Amino acid sequence: MNSFSLKNSTLHAENVALNQIATEFGTPCYVYSKAALTQAFERFSAGFAGTNHLVCFAVKANPSLAILNLFAKLGAGFDIVSGGELARVLAAGGDPKKIVFSGVGKTAIEMQAALNAGIFCFNVESASELSRLNKVAGEMGKVAPVSLRVNPNVDAKTHPYISTGLKNSKFGVAYEDALNVYAQAAAMPNIAIHGVDCHIGSQITELSPFLDAFDRVLLLVDALEQQGIHIQHIDAGGGIGICYNDETPPEFTAYAAAMRTKLGNRNVKLVFEPGRALVGNAGVLLTKVEYLKPTTSKNFAIVDAAMNDLMRPALYDAYHNIQPVQPRKDGHAAVYEIVGPVCESGDFLGHDRTLTLEEGDLLAIMSAGAYGMSMSSNYNTRPRAAEVMVDGGDSHLIRKREEIADLFALEKCLPQT
């Protein structure tokens, strides 16, 4: 099902016209489809039906309370990387017993909060972190459930900024050191070994890197078993890509079937951390053309969204399809640079897009449900966008647009002298 489609010559989110949303809530505005979110989660989970598994949504992809609450109601767990994300998940009704805590820099305060909440597992990323967690748990009279995030040195074949499984990455424990660090963990009084974790990157569009990494993890699990360390779960991470342009990422069913086959008859729980795969194509960024600016070398369409609203094009040179909300049947098509008002030459949302435009037209920047709002900022003192969730024929404001006064409400000038 495509939750964003043309109906009566107007682009809709489910049964709500996007121009209607722009009129009611203004632009720029993120718009999400509840149906698309639900379908993505259910399709991913269905692939593992009959297998002991837990699907933990990667909160960093989109931390909206409404989205977290929807996934919690669908039975999801959550992959978090900060104390703030822990608080968000709990505020959204997430079950702490379904939370895995990843990240290389967990503070003692974050560890304490997670232990008090009673999370499912800490994905420990270094021997130093393991020692600190043991100390913090001991001071609290608790035992911390852990898996070791193992770096399998597998090339995810994705953008280097989001490739996390190579030996030069800051993430995880080197594969060749894993047995030794597990032995250290087994000797610690306030650590309970529960699992093995592996995450090799994001926006992966081939199946082979996942399977290569999983093979290495399974070898480690078997070696640990021989040393008397029983692994209760394997966290295979996330990273399945989506189609932004012409990519062909693996289908959820093919991914699930391959993973289940490799697992064999091992008696372990499978944990997954999909993020982009669940939310990426469930959202768009709605923006308005403010000015058309032809020059001798390029035509610019200056819109009211910018790199502070959607960082991915400027940060990764990422491609997002851009569609007119109401395509024009007449007029002159031209090739445009779609740019924002931020004072940076890198403030672009799309290069070389052939469109028929007039000032005031609405554009939908597609596949913006992941790492859009979550990476947005207030650069140039720009309020962050509103967020709207569409459910059938109804649209709900799930985050109001920031006011300019909100942006400096916590600041103070120096005292008068």
Q: In this structure, what CATH number is given to the domain that contains residue 38?
A: 3.20.20.10
Distances 252 to 77, 134, 274, 303 between C-alpha atoms, Å: 18, 37, 11, 36
Asked if residue 289 and residue 152 are part of one domain, the reply reads: no
Strand ranges (DSSP E) for 295-333? 299-303, 322-324
Last residue of a domain, one of 224, 248, 277: 277
Last residue of a domain, one of 222, 252, 277: 277
* CB-CB neighbours of 355 under 10 Å: 21
Would you say residue 415 lies in a domain? no
For residue 378 the two structure tokens come to 């207030």
Asked if residue 231 and residue 141 are part of one domain, the reply reads: yes
- Give the integer Cα–Cα distance in Å for 314 and 345: 9
Going by C-alpha positions, the residue among 239, 232, 326 that lies closest to residue 278 is: 239
> Over the range 121-142, which residues count as b (16 or more CB within 10 Å of their CB) and which as e?
bbbbbbeebbebbbebbeeeeb
- Give the integer Cα–Cα distance in Å for 123 and 135: 16
- Give the integer Cα–Cα distance in Å for 357 and 336: 9
Distances 38 to 33, 62, 215, 218, 237 between C-alpha atoms, Å: 9, 14, 31, 31, 20
238 HSE (CA, 13 A, CB side): 27
Q: Pairing relation of β-strands 191-197 and 4-7?
A: unpaired
Asked if residue 180 and residue 60 are part of one domain, the reply reads: yes
Q: What is the residue range of 333's domain?
A: 4-31+280-408
Last residue of a domain, one of 277, 312, 340: 277
DSSP states of 179-220: HHHHHHHHT-TTEEEEEEE---BSSB--SHHHHHHHHHHHHH
Burial status of residue 17 (CB atoms within 10 A of its CB: 0-12, 13-18, 19 or more)? middle
Domain count, the chain: 2
Asked if residue 90 and residue 226 are part of one domain, the reply reads: yes
- Give the integer Cα–Cα distance in Å for 375 and 367: 14
Asked if residue 103 and residue 27 are part of one domain, the reply reads: no
Question: Could you read off the pLDDT tens digit of each residue along the chain, which spans 417 residues?
Answer: 589 999 999 999 999 999 999 999 999 999 999 999 999 999 999 999 999 999 999 999 999 999 999 999 999 999 999 999 999 999 999 999 999 999 999 999 999 999 999 999 999 999 999 999 999 999 999 999 999 999 887 765 544 544 444 556 788 899 899 999 999 999 999 999 999 999 888 888 889 888 988 899 999 999 999 999 999 999 999 989 999 999 999 999 999 999 999 999 999 999 999 999 999 999 999 999 999 999 999 999 999 999 999 999 999 999 999 999 999 998 899 999 999 999 999 999 999 999 999 999 999 999 999 999 999 999 999 999 999 999 999 999 999 999 999 999 999 999 997
Asked if residue 346 and residue 208 are part of one domain, the reply reads: no
The pLDDT of residue 39 = 97
Residues designated catalytic = 343
Helix-strand-coil split of the chain, %, nearest 5: 30, 25, 40
- State the chain's maximal CA–CA distance in angstroms: 75
Would you say residue 295 lies in a domain? yes
Q: Which residues sit opposite 193 in a β-bridge?
A: 146
- Give the integer Cα–Cα distance in Å for 59 and 85: 7
> CA end-to-end span of the chain, whole Å?
65
SS3 274: coil
What single DSSP character describes residue 405?
Answer: G
The pLDDT of residue 14 = 98
Asked if residue 348 and residue 252 are part of one domain, the reply reads: no
Would you say residue 400 lies in a domain? yes
Would you say residue 417 lies in a domain? no
Would you say residue 345 lies in a domain? yes
Asked if residue 238 and residue 164 are part of one domain, the reply reads: yes
CB 342 within 8 A of CB 332: no
Distances 323 to 32, 251, 315, 353 between C-alpha atoms, Å: 16, 25, 21, 10
For residue 75 the two structure tokens come to 């039975």
* CB-CB neighbours of 88 under 10 Å: 18
Asked if residue 137 and residue 88 are part of one domain, the reply reads: yes
